[in-house]
């Protein structure tokens, strides 16, 4: 990661923390509203039905970047670690925009699986949703602390952020693979 100056003022840091907290609350609320809004934005057209497939590719790439980031930090390849984590961060942002567009225009797809796979799917989906809702908070702090070279704080937050982020990213792909046969478009 390209490091920002480590001489960030306390006021600037307080502003950044306020932004992180605000974003961490606003985005899950916005997603919840989009998922449950009674009328979808139909004027976007049918192209939005491609987005879940794109999201799976983006999540797969993000998962790979997260794993590579771990490999690089274990090898003390700090520049490569920062680069792969930045890639994962950017892919996460692309995913989020795509996810919001899709859910503002399309109804949610129901899972049609039966038998033992049904509770497995819903367990993965529910844990994915819950952790995705809280993931942004530690991820943003971990990224900020890494970017600003506050390594002690970065290490403390990453202990929580990394496993949550990886779980959300991987289960996003698994949930997609499980529900994709039931997409209408």
Rounded CA gap, 5 and 129, in Å? 35
Q: What is the pLDDT of residues 58-91, one digit of tens each?
A: 999 999 999 999 999 999 999 999 999 999 999 9
Buried/exposed 39-53: b ≥16 CB within 10 Å, e otherwise: eeeeeeeeebeebbe
CATH classification at residue 135: 1.20.120
Residue 5 lies in a domain: no
Q: What is the pLDDT of residue 2?
A: 46
Q: Which of 58, 67, 46, 45 is nearest to 173 (CA)?
A: 58
pLDDT average, residue stretch 103-107: 84
Rounded CA gap, 26 and 181, in Å? 32
**Contact (CB, 8 A) for 142 and 154:** yes
Q: What is the pLDDT of residue 127?
A: 96
Q: Assign 13 a pLDDT band (cuts: 50, 70, 90).
A: confident
Q: What is the pLDDT of residue 130?
A: 92
Residue 66 lies in a domain: yes
Q: What is the pLDDT of residue 103?
A: 84
**Contact (CB, 8 A) for 109 and 184:** yes
Query: Residue 46 — φ and ψ, nearest 5°?
Result: -75, -15
Residue 158 lies in a domain: yes
Residue 143 lies in a domain: yes
Domain count, the chain: 1
Answer whether residue 114 shows pLDDT above 50. yes
What predicted TM-score, i.e. pTM, was given to this entire model? 0.85
Residue 41 lies in a domain: yes
What is the 3-class SS of 43-78, one letter each residue?
HHCHHHHHHHHHHHHHHHHHHHHHHHHHHHHHCCCH
DSSP 8-state class, residue 1: -
Rounded CA gap, 167 and 112, in Å? 23
Residue 42 lies in a domain: yes
Residue 38 lies in a domain: yes
- Which structural domain range is residue 105 located in? 10-182
pLDDT average, residue stretch 139-158: 94
**Mean of pLDDT over the chain:** 89
Residue 101 lies in a domain: yes
Rounded CA gap, 65 and 46, in Å? 30
Dihedral of alpha carbons 143, 148, 151, 153, sign: negative
């Amino acid at each position: 990661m390209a490091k920002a100056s480590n001489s960030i003022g306390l006021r600037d840091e307080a502003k950044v923390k306020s932004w992180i907290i605000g974003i961490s609350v606003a985005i899950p609320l916005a997603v919840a509203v989009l998922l449950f809004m009674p009328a979808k934005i139909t004027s976007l057209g049918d192209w939005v039905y491609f987005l879940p497939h794109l999201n799976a590719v983006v999540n797969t790439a993000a998962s790979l970047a997260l794993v590579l980031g771990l490999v690089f930090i274990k090898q003390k390849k700090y520049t490569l670690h920062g680069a792969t984590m930045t890639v994962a961060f950017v892919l996460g942002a692309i995913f989020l925009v795509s996810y919001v567009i899709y859910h503002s225009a399309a109804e949610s797809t129901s899972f049609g699986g039966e038998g033992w796979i049904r509770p497995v799917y819903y367990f993965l989906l529910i844990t994915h949703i819950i952790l995705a809702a809280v993931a942004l908070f530690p991820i943003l702090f971990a990224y900020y602390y890494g970017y600003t070279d506050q390594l002690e704080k970065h290490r403390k937050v990453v202990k929580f952020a990394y496993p949550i982020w990886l779980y959300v990213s991987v289960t996003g792909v698994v949930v997609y693979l499980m529900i994709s046969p039931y997409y209408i478009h």
